[in-house]
Chains A and B, each alone.
Chain A
């Protein structure tokens, strides 16, 4: 289907003045005109990408893909010089993370059975695995991305049991993310890049009075995959056309 109107997202790019007049015709007006376009996606960029599929199988494959990436990352970390020289606490953390992510990936592979996507080929060429700073920075990226991905994918899950499965895993990813962040910068376990921090109106204001929400900043699959695809080889790059 050809696009006859501005895609709804274009409203974000407009100035606030024009946004008002635009909203006048989209906020309510799109209800009349835009609906027929809502199922129509611009997928020309994704033609060479491996799509995770639709329905709960698609969501679980999306999770499987991200877990594969994380598992491959920590497996690679354990072959580098940073890991070899890390202190006992950091070795324990990296050992645990490698096992947890491998357990997650293997779990999805088993649960998906014949519906599982293929084994993905990662591309970590840009990461120096001998550098503590680079490894931990990349680990933080993967863990934070994983949390935002699961949170953003929850709305696409159809079965309650699958939602609980995702919930069992995402809180562990959040535990990982918080510790990696604390390793890099103590007390950054929550921070404004990943959480919409709350600021009380005053030192004596009642609970709930202030700016912000204290919520994680969940991400849509398209945004997550844009980031994840940077670490995947051609042929392993992903799309999630059913989830937008």
Chain B
């Protein structure tokens, strides 16, 4: 088999062949071959793999990976249409904050692109804006968060925080499933940290609004550990304990599950489990005793927690119309 001849033939019908080819060292890492010699046995698989990657066929993703990526994609749509609707609601987002929400909305759009490309034909269809009821009523639009996309900016920020914090926990919980595919794993990690940046900013804006400050002035407002939750709470840019249940702990649906434990909530130090955000023990190390002078609040802030897929779905399902199959 003359590989160069084959490539030359392909070039006649696809001038971009060289751009598509997975060049340099990356090719070995994709196939887990770094440092190994090519033998006759692995060569056919390597060559077919080079072309498979070049032309974006992803049929080799395991069902588990497809499920994790489609859940992530569903959450990105949930967020995208929320921020997009907020930006379209005249007078809802103050001018000083609109650039931030344009950035956040656009980041989610980029994540949608990345996930769709990774999933290929196995990606869920765009659910469209019509699939979501951001009021929390699953269709009729009269739930407790109805004003969040009309004229209640504090409510809009509260919902933003709950959505993005759910997203951060969901990516963290899904990451181990992606370990067999290092590039997908790194892509997911690179989305995960951007979601955390969003959460930090939204929380900063919330502190500012609660104190009558907007724009840069929001950064002059300290968090209040005695007033973390509720619509006018002043959360830190990181999660303290369970943040008192978040922006809307007493409504139905409530934001509390976003900060509470998932399932399983406990496990051995080397197991994967989903404790509440207030957890202060990691890999068997109790942070509150391992660092002198640290408060339980600070110890919990220093570590975020993952959330399992079933719990993530049960949270997100509250914002989808009942007839949709999203998050089921």
Contact = CB atoms under 8 A, between A and B. Distances in A.
B67 interface: no
Contacts of B198: 178, 189-190
A24 B7 contact: yes
Provide the main secondary structure of the chain A interface: helix
A69 B14 CA distance: 50
A147 B285 CA distance: 22
Contact of A155 (B28, B111, B186, B290): B186
Provide the main secondary structure of the chain B interface: helix
A152 B22 contact: no
A163 B196 CA distance: 17
B107 A23 contact: no
A111 B80 CA distance: 39
Nearest to B304: A171
Contacts of A217: 190
Nearest to B116: A208
A9 B306 contact: no
The size bracket of the interface on B is 35 or more
Contacts of B47: 28, 31
Interface string A177-194: 111001100110110000
Given A27-B21, A35-B37, A186-B219, A164 B291 contact: no
Contact of B38 (A35, A100, A160): A35
Interface string A202-238: 0000111110111111100000000000000000000
A9 to B, nearest CB: 7
A218 B185 CA distance: 12
Given A179-B200, A190-B194, A154 B189 contact: yes
A195 B194 contact: yes
A79 B324 CA distance: 57
A189 B104 CA distance: 10
B138 interface: no
Given A31-B27, A179-B219, 11 more contacts: A29-B3, A30-B23, A106-B291, A111-B283, A111-B284, A154-B175, A164-B172, A174-B193, A190-B197, A208-B112, A214-B110
